[in-house]
Amino acid sequence: MSDLGDKILLAHGSGGQASHQLVSELFLRYFANDWLEQLDDAAVLPMAVPQMADAHGPTRLAFTTDSYVVHPLFFPGGNIGKLAVCGTVNDLAMTGAQPLYLSAGFIIEEGFSVADLTRIVQSMAETAKAAGVHIVTGDTKVVDRGSADGLFINTAGVGLVPQGLHISGAAAQPGDAILLSGSIGDHGMTIMSQREGLRFASALESDCASLNGLVASMLDASTAIHALRDPTRGGLATTLNEIAGSSKVGIEIVEDEILVRDEVRGACEMLGLDPLYVANEGKLIAALPADQAEVVVSAMRGHEYGRQARIVGHATAEHPGRVVLKTSLGTRRILNMLTGEQLPRIC
Amino acid sequence: MSDLGDKILLAHGSGGQASHQLVSELFLRYFANDWLEQLDDAAVLPMAVPQMADAHGPTRLAFTTDSYVVHPLFFPGGNIGKLAVCGTVNDLAMTGAQPLYLSAGFIIEEGFSVADLTRIVQSMAETAKAAGVHIVTGDTKVVDRGSADGLFINTAGVGLVPQGLHISGAAAQPGDAILLSGSIGDHGMTIMSQREGLRFASALESDCASLNGLVASMLDASTAIHALRDPTRGGLATTLNEIAGSSKVGIEIVEDEILVRDEVRGACEMLGLDPLYVANEGKLIAALPADQAEVVVSAMRGHEYGRQARIVGHATAEHPGRVVLKTSLGTRRILNMLTGEQLPRIC
């Protein structure tokens, strides 16, 4: 207990170092099993289908969940409902799975606007349809006024992992190219600017999007992909640290290759934030053999959510577990995982 | 919109009439698909496993979710964590599925006690182990103080439905016997008495239990079971109305056959509540051919959670969609679905 402290802090939900500590010291300790310990965006599970020929191996199911507590509920580029569908679709897609079915659990504060709830549900339906998934089961709880802040949504999702794919945050190899699908920080700075009432907020828009189509295009180009992750809470730097730690490789990335939109950079500077640690909701990182990188980048650029895809670095056998940034000035600095809580309730 | 009103009310989370209205006018309208429309405790989904011989039909996956907002978090017989595992295991079991994997999503208020969270997580792990399921994926969000009431937990679950079973709340037939696995009202009155600080609270204990083992015993005795449901929010009367409505049968039950523990009856009388509408968390209702009823009741009585199982009524072709109670006095009264909100935050 002593390591976690007496009280849960906002930092325990940051996606950064304190979150990892909570997961490893509490959840992994008590729920201990091989699937959870992978700490991938979705668990990949064997389903022993009795009538299936053993020769083909078991069916593998991807299964994931996320709760959404974003504040405000509506923001440029999306809302909590769109986010709840995209986020869970993306967690499935990051295992290479074809997302199939979602659940939706609503926790609603008494007095919440039916018109707002309707807009959110409509948005979930549209987003699910566009991603090719069905919302097949759900639950609604209403809590008394003051016991929740408007609306929280949980989505869980299941999908099928095609035979032959073995994509995991723990599977990056030394020599792999590291790809990034586009600019970073858009979602986090959009939410932040809405809260702070920044003047230039109108230029910011969340990148919230379902990435399963992009992943399908990548897999059409090459099934040799080792690792996929979407850099949400904790941002690019934290997610790269997760891959480096799980895969026991070093990662080196080149600052000049990382796109940050001017509006995002401006908002970050104003608020004193580093875009490398700001959440994204429509971007992915891939690690794959360097000789496959060009063909996969090219496939990504043919997809609407990968137009700005590029190689941003590579994995190395040196400094395993560490992420190093080659800065624009030619210096090298270690990128640690996010510490503390940068932006609460970003997703 | 006009039918739902402008604001979400506590009654929309009651499990009764207002909940059904919200589901049909909002969620079914926008998420429209055949699986959701079944409104069973879990969706039963085809998984097209490409390499599986068509002759066997598709693999069928059961998938369900529930959020838990119970207050207080700890109560005699359980806590929010035990409830979150049992509830989702039970929703899977009510389709005849073998529950396999659970997700766990935590929404935690800043400042929550790490010691309490640990007790809850330990309890989830023990309950999952006893039920034979694994918690394989999860998520933690921390919200600022005052934005949630301590802790909410969402669990989703997946399981496999054995070939040949077609159990659904819509599958009860006229002539079916209606079975009930034990006494009613224990969970709801335990929670209520904790909140009201009733003197006799010490005699009350939640019936919170995982029923998948009981269902397996029943299916060992007979696979002819038509419908299974656990009467949680809205209680026995509401759940029977759901079965009657979905199956388009009438249901007649006999008051004298329905067990209510003395402490539960006493608490209900003191608070002016009808035990037929009070939530249970470890009981089930079954509808099955009358000629199979004795063998299934006998199997249930051999299981720790079915010792007091009995036939409590039957389904009829008359008055489809209606539930009628034959009272101890020999009169008949119509049991409607719960209207309004009897006990908020019971689960």
- pLDDT (tens, 9 = 90+) of chain A, 347 residues, equals 447 999 999 999 999 999 999 999 999 999 999 999 999 999 999 886 654 444 556 779 999 999 999 999 999 999 999 999 999 999 999 999 999 999 999 999 999 999 999 999 999 999 999 999 999 999 999 999 999 999 999 999 999 999 899 999 999 999 999 999 999 999 999 999 998 877 666 789 999 999 999 999 999 999 999 999 999 999 999 999 999 999 999 999 999 999 999 999 999 999 899 999 999 999 999 999 999 999 999 999 999 999 999 999 999 999 999 999 999 999 999 999 998 877 889 99
Assess whether A198 and A328 both reside in one domain.
yes
Assess whether A103 and A190 both reside in one domain.
no
What's the confidence (pLDDT) of residue B343?
Answer: 80
For residues B143 and B106, give the distance between their C-alpha atoms in angstroms, rounded to a whole number. 11
Picking from A207, A187, A188, the residue whose alpha carbon sits closest to that of residue A305 is: A207
Residues of B in Cβ contact (< 8 Å) with A4: 114
Residues of A in Cβ contact (< 8 Å) with B10: 110, 142, 144
Residues of B in Cβ contact (< 8 Å) with A5: 114
Q: Please state the separation of Cα A146 from the chain's center in Å.
A: 30
Q: Which amino acid is at B323?
A: V
Assess whether B146 and B195 both reside in one domain.
no
Q: Are B91 and B135 in contact (CB under 8 A)?
A: no
Assess whether A185 and A330 both reside in one domain.
yes
Q: Are B310 and B297 in contact (CB under 8 A)?
A: yes
Assess whether B258 and B202 both reside in one domain.
yes
Polymer length of chain B: 347
For residues B324, B326, B327, B328, the Cα torsion angle rounded to the nearest 10 degrees is -160
The last residue of one of the domains, among A161, A193, A208, is A161
- Please report, in angstroms and rounded to a whole number, the separation of the first and last CA atoms in chain B: 28
Token pair, residue B330, equals 């020999």
Q: The domain spanning residue B277 has which CATH number?
A: 3.90.650.10
DSSP state of A275: G
For residues B34 and B150, give the distance between their C-alpha atoms in angstroms, rounded to a whole number. 36
Q: Is B24 on the interface with A (CB under 8 A)?
A: no
For residues B28 and B178, give the distance between their C-alpha atoms in angstroms, rounded to a whole number. 28
| Test mutation, B29, B65, B79, chain A, max A CBs within 10 A | B65
Whether residue B171 lies inside any domain: the answer is no
Whether residue A300 lies inside any domain: the answer is yes
**Cis bond upstream, residue B72 (ω within 30):** yes
The C-alpha R_g of chain A, in whole angstroms, comes to 20
Distances (CA, A) of B182 to A5, B94, B300: 43, 16, 10
User: Distance (Å) from the C-alpha of residue A341 to the closest C-alpha of chain B?
Assistant: 10
Assess whether A184 and A138 both reside in one domain.
no
DSSP SS3 for B305:
coil
Q: The domain spanning residue A82 has which CATH number?
A: 3.30.1330.10
| Test mutation, A142, A145, A151, A346, chain B, max B CBs within 10 A | A142
What's the confidence (pLDDT) of residue B198?
Answer: 76
For residues A125 and A68, give the distance between their C-alpha atoms in angstroms, rounded to a whole number. 16
**Residues 6+ positions from B220 with CB-CB distance below 8 Å:** B299
For residues B254 and B312, give the distance between their C-alpha atoms in angstroms, rounded to a whole number. 6
For residues A142 and A153, give the distance between their C-alpha atoms in angstroms, rounded to a whole number. 12
Which residue in chain B is spatially nearest to A345 when comparing CA positions? B143
Whether residue A11 lies inside any domain: the answer is no
Whether residue B2 lies inside any domain: the answer is no
Assess whether A152 and A192 both reside in one domain.
no
Q: Are A105 and B154 in contact (CB under 8 A)?
A: yes
User: CB B136 to CB A6 under 8 A?
Assistant: no
| 0.90 surpassed by pTM | yes
User: CB A65 to CB B144 under 8 A?
Assistant: no
Token pair, residue A23, equals 């997961």
E-strand spans in B76-226? 78-79, 98-109, 134-143, 151-160, 177-180
Residues of B in Cβ contact (< 8 Å) with A32: 125
Domain holding B198, by residue range, is: 176-335
Assess whether B236 and B104 both reside in one domain.
no
For residues A34 and A235, give the distance between their C-alpha atoms in angstroms, rounded to a whole number. 26
Assess whether A51 and A147 both reside in one domain.
yes
What's the confidence (pLDDT) of residue B223?
Answer: 96
DSSP state of A27: I
For residues B14 and A218, give the distance between their C-alpha atoms in angstroms, rounded to a whole number. 46
For residues B26 and B255, give the distance between their C-alpha atoms in angstroms, rounded to a whole number. 35
Assess whether A107 and A201 both reside in one domain.
no
Residues of B in Cβ contact (< 8 Å) with A107: 67, 69, 107, 152
Q: Which amino acid is at B25?
A: E
Token pair, residue B150, equals 């301590």
What's the confidence (pLDDT) of residue A2?
Answer: 47
Token pair, residue B261, equals 């523990």
Q: Is A7 on the interface with B (CB under 8 A)?
A: yes
Whether residue A148 lies inside any domain: the answer is yes
Asked if ipTM goes beyond 0.90, one says yes
Assess whether B259 and B314 both reside in one domain.
yes
Q: Is B165 on the interface with A (CB under 8 A)?
A: no
Task: Please return the burial class of A270, using the count of CB atoms within 10 Å of its CB with bins 0-12, 13-18 and 19+.
Answer: middle
Counting one residue from A and one from B, how many pairs have CB atoms under 8 Å apart?
306
For residues B149 and B181, give the distance between their C-alpha atoms in angstroms, rounded to a whole number. 33
Whether residue B13 lies inside any domain: the answer is no
Strand A151-160 with A98-109, pairing: antiparallel
For residues A68 and A232, give the distance between their C-alpha atoms in angstroms, rounded to a whole number. 12
Residues of B in Cβ contact (< 8 Å) with A234: none
How many other CB atoms sit within 10 Å of the CB of residue A340?
Answer: 11
pLDDT by position in tens, chain B (length 347)? 448 999 999 999 999 999 999 999 999 999 999 999 999 999 999 886 654 444 556 779 999 999 999 999 999 999 999 999 999 999 999 999 999 999 999 999 999 999 999 999 999 999 999 999 999 999 999 999 999 999 999 999 999 999 899 999 999 999 999 999 999 999 999 999 998 877 666 789 999 999 999 999 999 999 999 999 999 999 999 999 999 999 999 999 999 999 999 999 999 999 899 999 999 999 999 999 999 999 999 999 999 999 999 999 999 999 999 999 999 999 999 999 998 877 889 99
Whether residue A59 lies inside any domain: the answer is yes
Assess whether A137 and A240 both reside in one domain.
no
Whether residue A195 lies inside any domain: the answer is yes
Strand B310-316 with B177-180, pairing: antiparallel
Q: Which amino acid is at A284?
A: L
Structurally, how many domains does chain B consist of? 2
E-strand spans in B241-344? 250-254, 285-288, 310-316, 323-326, 332-335
